[in-house]
Amino acid sequence: MSNLTMEKLVNLCKQYGFIFQGSEIYGGLANTWDYGPLGTRLKNNIKDAWRKRFIQERKNSFETDTTILMHSRVWEASGHVDSFNDPKFDCKNCKTRYRADNFIEEYSLNHDSAQNMAFDEMTEYIKNNSMKCPKCGSSNFTDVREFKLMFETYRGTTEDNKTVIYLRPENAQGEYVNYLNVLRSSRTKLPFSIGQIGTVFRNEVTPGDFIFRTIEFEQMEYQTFCKPGDDVELYKYFKEYGKKFYLDLGLSNDKLRFKDHEKLSFYASAACDIEYLFPFGWGELNGTHDRTDYDLKRHQEFSGQNMEYIDSNTNEKFIPYVVESTYGVGRTVLACLFEAYHEETLEDGTIREVMRLHPYLAPYKVAIFPLIKKNHSDKANELFDILSKHFMVTYDESSSIGKRYRRQDVIGTPYCITIDDNTLNNNTVTIRDRDTMKQEVLDIEDIVDYINEKIAF
RNA sequence: GCAGAUGUGGUUUAAUGGUAGAACAUAACCUUGCCAAGGUUAGAACGGGAGUUCGAUUCUCCUCAUCUGCUCCA
């Protein structure tokens, strides 16, 4: 049973230290969220899980960590400088927003091209041709304005020495510009993959949905370079591999679906999302794109560097195709939180809130309780020192034992260990499983192996 | 970015143009021997700014944030 609304989740995350509003003491900055102690653990565990599946367990798979700030030519080559800002205007009457270039091409009498028009020329054109809002018939429009989706900053310390530099809107270009470096240094062959986890920035006008859409966010990206033709099978493979990854994280099959793109971007020959059913509707977690040789070809053109691969068996030369699969980190965190939350009514009628996170994702693997603070806290602290060398452990000696169990249930801790007189006399502890509510007696020596086996991913 | 609604301790809330009250949560001490027990005590709030007023959490304006619906998301 779960009836977790977004509002309730936001409060829960704040209360227990998963996620806080960004810049909260100054009134908040819209669409930014800070990860607290528990949220940071959860997020890092998700990233580690991804790393394990995509880098560690796959041959010819390499991780990079490239810079947020890149040469401006990168974004010209990628097409972002030309395509990642839109000319838009609003109908003041019915508040509909249009893309000016599309509007002119679609609704003008001659279907003129707006390709080469400046913004004020588009404004003039719309006015001079008495174009009307297709929705309400009004001609009361705002001027055409530019909506830049890339954040800009400046390089250079003096006013007259400044050059524009962009904050990356995707990680992918970092892998593409290092394709030759990785290929050479790793002595690898096609097909091979470069993965990367990194922060990207998009200056979008957005409604929030909590951490679902933010202006700064992390992506886990996976680029597979292959021989042209092999991209078709790889594309299919990575769609399924991505879904498998989400099932492994504990998301339920009936809340996951594929959504093929009908309209393809200029760089892609195929595109498909994996969506999760959030309380606010289906939302994208992953996008897999067949980017063909678009990016490497463009970088070859713009940089002058030869991006061709030589197949040593056939001596063929070609620019590799790229299949990209991108996973949103924050969105995955959000999906895992929604999926994990349960409310259970106990025999005495009280409600127990349980965060049934996969043990690998749980912020703490084990909580240690001295049954009686006075008698058992020394031994409990000793155990903390032993176990904390192996995994994240938390310690709680305040309030009643029942209350301590409940606190761990809400934050997803899979195992609780209680130290009592038996521990002092026989070296055994009571370990309680969050999901089954069953208690077992365990020798202290066996705890590490017991837990490690349970939390494996 | 547009329209509407909302903003009181961590959370849920009460009242008020004149000292802002509670419950839960939190912390300390006592008690307690395995699932939110009890007692005592403590800390903690009117989103921010300006205006009207002798005095504003309350009225007005601006702003910030959140929610709902649009819009946007190569």
Rounded to whole angstroms, the distance from the CA of residue A11 to the C1' of nucleotide B14 is 21
Residue A56 per-residue DSSP state: I
* Nearest alpha-carbon partner for A218 in A150, A179, A170, A175: A170
Residue A448 token pair? 């590490």
Rounded to whole angstroms, the distance from the CA of residue A211 to the C1' of nucleotide B31 is 44
Q: What is the ipTM of this complex?
A: 0.91
Q: pTM of whole model > 0.95?
A: no
Which residue carries 């690998």 as its tokens? A360
Contact A176, A296 (CB under 8 A): yes
Rounded to whole angstroms, the distance from the CA of residue A27 to the C1' of nucleotide B51 is 22
Using C1' positions and the CA of A150, the closest nucleotide is: B74
Q: Which helix (H) or strand (E) holds A416?
A: strand A415-419
Q: What is the pLDDT of residue A100?
A: 73
For residues A85 and A299, give the distance between their C-alpha atoms in angstroms, rounded to a whole number.
21
For residues A84 and A18, give the distance between their C-alpha atoms in angstroms, rounded to a whole number.
33
- Written in H, E and C, the secondary structure of A439-450 is EEEEEHHHHHHH
For residues A82 and A299, give the distance between their C-alpha atoms in angstroms, rounded to a whole number.
15
Q: What is the pLDDT of residue A134?
A: 67
Which residues, including other chains, have CB under 8 Å from residue A398's CB and lie 6 or more apart?
A404
The nucleotides of chain B lying under 7 Å from a protein CB are 1-3, 7, 10-12, 25-28, 31-37, 47-48, 64-74
Task: Quote the Cα angle for A122-A126-A129, to 5°.
Answer: 130
Q: How many CB atoms lie within 10 A of CB A457?
A: 13
Q: What is the pLDDT of residue A286?
A: 94
Which residues, including other chains, have CB under 8 Å from residue A346's CB and lie 6 or more apart?
A352
Rounded to whole angstroms, the distance from the CA of residue A150 to the C1' of nucleotide B59 is 43
The one-digit pLDDT tens for each residue of chain A (457 residues) are 356 788 889 989 999 999 999 888 888 888 899 999 999 999 999 999 999 999 999 999 999 999 999 998 999 899 888 766 666 776 666 556 667 777 777 766 666 666 666 666 777 777 777 777 766 666 767 777 666 788 888 887 666 667 888 999 999 999 999 999 999 999 999 999 999 999 999 887 666 789 998 989 999 999 999 999 999 999 999 999 999 999 999 999 999 999 888 777 777 778 899 999 988 888 999 999 999 999 999 999 999 999 999 998 899 999 999 999 999 999 999 999 999 999 888 877 778 889 999 999 999 999 999 999 889 999 999 999 999 999 999 999 988 899 999 999 999 999 999 999 999 999 999 999 999 999 999 999 999 999 999 999 9
Using C1' positions and the CA of A7, the closest nucleotide is: B67
